[in-house]
Structure 1
Amino acid sequence: MKLRIFTEPQQGATYDDLLRVAQTAERLGFDAFFRSDHYLRMGDGDPGPGPTDAWITLAGLARETSRIRLGTLVTAGTFRLPGPLAISVAQVDQMSGGRVELGLGTGWFEEEHTAYGIPFPPLGERFERFEEQLEIVTGLWAAAKPFSFDGAHYRLVDSPGLPKPAQRPRPPLIVGGGGAKRTPRLVARFADEYNVPFLLPEDTAAAFDRVRAACEEAGRETVLLSAAQIACVGRDEAEIAQRAAAVGREVDELRVSGLAGTPQEVVDKIGRFAEMGAERLYLQILDLDDLEHLELIAAEVLPHV
């Protein structure tokens, strides 16, 4: 099981905050540093300092880290045209020496679209666009000759498909979500990894089974399976409660819905995800000032998984 650090900078973080967490995660031996792709704070609270752009952030981190993998969970398809997105990700992959992974999704948070003037089509159209985006991005990276595409929403004519990413045949592509039909089909067709975000273990297992079935139907081996869970680890009950309070959550709720408790409790729950086939866990870290939290997880959890 590989553990990855996953941040939500739209809740209030500068690039320097993210750099500090990414470099700490690298030093401590975590497998990857990921960030969300959002432009608006969710929930109440001070909206400052405002959003940071996911791929600009990752471009900077690509030059200020050396080992840790970098990616999005997940980039919103509504934010970027697929051609320029393929260029951006390929460039950051080159800048990092081949350490980038692209998580891509339909986009879902309507308020951030309204706040920044980004079109927000109905869900059905977003899925149609998402499927075309997956085909275009992967097609541009793979193309050995000019690439053309004629879809319902996007049309490309004789694109040179440049630049190419450093990783060949391409950076890993992550598709996530708990959808019962369209998501498993798209995972089976395009993805290298399927991620289930913030579901209970039994619901995560059911989602994994749907993807396994879709892969079997498509005639391919199952993809790498992963899950995202909020992390709240403490040496004792007081420290656990302190960390939960710092992010506005209740300990009892986090013990059910996330990875919360003592290091041994968290190791045991990670074992449940491993038993259902997960090979990676993304630990959602909400308090980016609490680097001692990362130190504790690295010392008391990471060696046992």
Structure 2
Amino acid sequence: MDFRIFTEPQQGASYDTLLRVAQAAEELDYDGFFRSDHYLRMGDGDGLPGPTDAWITLAGLARETRRIRLGTLMTAGTFRLPGVLAIQVAQVDAMSGGRVELGLGAGWFEKEHTAYGIPFPDRRIDRLEEQLAIVTGLWETAPGETFSFEGAHYRLTDSPALPKPVQSRIPLLIGGMGPKRTPALAARYADEFNLPFVSVEQTVEQIGRVRAAAEERGRAADDLVYSNALVACVGRDDAEVARRAAAIGREVDELKANGLAGTPAEVVERIARYREAGSSRIYFQILDLDDLDHLELIATQVRPQLG
């Protein structure tokens, strides 16, 4: 199992806080550091010191880390034009020496759009399909050739399709529980399919849909990586689990039912069930970004038991 750290900075985190977490994750040999792409806090609280931009953050981290993979779960398609996004991601890939991955979604949180004057269009899944075609098309265009695209939502004419990423292919992540179009888009474009905050049973069901869609397209289902993002609340004993749950405003029983909560042994057992369901990568959603001991506990007491 690959272990990655997943953060939600819109809940209240500065760049310096994210840097400390990313560097700690790298030192603890996690495979990746990922962040959400949101501009507004969800739930109670003031969200101080305020939001940070996902790709500006990742650009900074690209220069201040050495090994760890960097990416988004998920970049909101409503925030950036696809041609501009392709340039941004390729540049950060170069800044990192080829360590970037792009999670791209349709965008869903309408309130943050109205709060910051960002259009929130209809038919976002249609737009996402065109965005995926444009971003991948720009990157795959041979040097010296141009890229054009004409869709219902976007038009590009004779783009030089530059810059190119450092990686021969930037891994592209698609996720969600849509029963038809989401698996079809993953089968066509994704290197990884991510399941956010769902049960083992839902994981089995949706991975089955994606695998079937891949095979229908003539692609080997095992070409894709299947992953889960789940909130983490791990403690050496029940008291430490309760303390960490209280720190993020959650109940232990609810976290055990819906996330990765409990002692290391309990969490190992839970992750093993997701592995049996077909997942080979876990994104630990860390909500208390000041608790670096939490990352160390998972790295030293959970990961060694899962290989």
TM-score, normalised to structure 1, is 0.98
CA deviation after TM superposition for structure 1 residue 47, in Å: 2.1
Q: Provide the residue aligned with 2:16 in structure 1.
A: 16
Cα distance in 1 for residues equivalent to 2:118 and 2:93: 26
Name stretches of at least 5 consecutive residues in structure 1 with no aligned partner. Answer: none
Q: Provide the residue aligned with 1:7 in structure 2.
A: 7
- C-alpha deviations, 1:82-133, integer Å up to 9, x for none? 00000000000000000000000000000000000111112xx101110000
SS at 2:47 equivalent = coil
Q: Provide the residue aligned with 1:232 in structure 2.
A: 233
SS at 1:71 equivalent = strand
Q: Provide the residue aligned with 2:277 in structure 1.
A: 276
Aligned length: 302
Structure 2 matches for 1:20-59, cutoff 5 A?
20-59=20-59
Q: Provide the residue aligned with 2:129 in structure 1.
A: 131
Cα distance in 1 for residues equivalent to 2:67 and 2:243: 32
Cα distance in 2 for residues equivalent to 1:282 and 1:75: 16
Cα distance in 2 for residues equivalent to 1:104 and 1:279: 20
One-letter code aligned to 1:73: L
> 2:71 matched to 1:65?
no
CA deviation after TM superposition for structure 1 residue 166, in Å: 0.4
Greater Cα offset, 239-248 or 214-223 = 214-223
- C-alpha deviations, 1:169-227, integer Å up to 9, x for none? x2100000011011001000110100000001111111111101111111101211001
Q: Provide the residue aligned with 1:80 in structure 2.
A: 80
Cα distance in 1 for residues equivalent to 2:192 and 2:298: 24
Cα distance in 1 for residues equivalent to 2:304 and 2:163: 39
TM-score, normalised to structure 2, is 0.98
CA deviation after TM superposition for structure 1 residue 157, in Å: 0.4
One-letter code aligned to 1:118: I
Q: Provide the residue aligned with 1:285 in structure 2.
A: 286
Q: Provide the residue aligned with 1:89 in structure 2.
A: 89
One-letter code aligned to 1:210: R
Structure 2 matches for 1:170-185, cutoff 5 A?
170-185=169-184
Cα distance in 2 for residues equivalent to 1:48 and 1:262: 31
Cα distance in 1 for residues equivalent to 2:190 and 2:117: 30
Cα distance in 1 for residues equivalent to 2:210 and 2:22: 31
Cα distance in 1 for residues equivalent to 2:15 and 2:9: 9
SS at 1:195 equivalent = strand
SS at 2:121 equivalent = coil
- C-alpha deviations, 1:17-45, integer Å up to 9, x for none? 00000000000010000000000000111
Name stretches of at least 5 consecutive residues in structure 2 with no aligned partner. Answer: none
Cα distance in 2 for residues equivalent to 1:42 and 1:270: 27
Query: RMSD value over aligned CA atoms?
Result: 0.6
- C-alpha deviations, 1:203-254, integer Å up to 9, x for none? 1111111101111111101211001000000001100000001001000010
Cα distance in 2 for residues equivalent to 1:236 and 1:48: 31
> 2:191 matched to 1:192?
yes
Cα distance in 2 for residues equivalent to 1:93 and 1:210: 31
Cα distance in 2 for residues equivalent to 1:121 and 1:158: 26
Greater Cα offset, 216-225 or 135-144 = 216-225
CA deviation after TM superposition for structure 1 residue 303, in Å: 1.2
Q: Provide the residue aligned with 1:102 in structure 2.
A: 102
Cα distance in 2 for residues equivalent to 1:256 and 1:245: 16
SS at 2:19 equivalent = helix
What is the aligned-residue identity percentage? 72
